[in-house]
Amino acid sequence: GKHRIVIPCLGHFKEEYEKVSKQYMNNKIRTTRYTLLNFLPRNLFEQFHRVANLYFLFLVVLNWVPLVEAFQKEITMLPLVGVLTIIAVKDGLEDYSRYKMDKQINNLVTKVYCR
């Protein structure tokens, strides 16, 4: 018949548990979108999929052309940089709260009922 080996993750069984558990996928929940390494590039990629941000970027690039320059180059960049910064901070805080909730859920103690 079928049998199952259960190894507790406690005490002197911890090394054996870690060795056996590497063979299987874990069941941790991860709802975050970003990591520390990919936050900036991925966030900018997502933000420039919005038409309004592309419009402001177009105005910034257009203002760097000397024939079309209407304002100082730095002033044209302020709205775009401001909006990108505010949205990035908002996304970062939301993702951090998701990370904390995932960590809390993944560390809950569970009970296993058998017949």
Cβ atoms of 28 and 106 closer than 8 Å: yes
pTM for the whole structure: 0.70
Asked whether the beta carbons of 90 and 43 are under 8 A apart, the reply is no
Cβ atoms 40, 89 nearer than 8 A: no
In tens digits, the chain (115 residues) has pLDDT values of 676 666 666 667 777 777 777 777 777 889 999 999 999 999 999 999 999 999 989 988 888 887 877 777 788 888 899 999 999 999 999 999 999 999 998 888 777 676 6
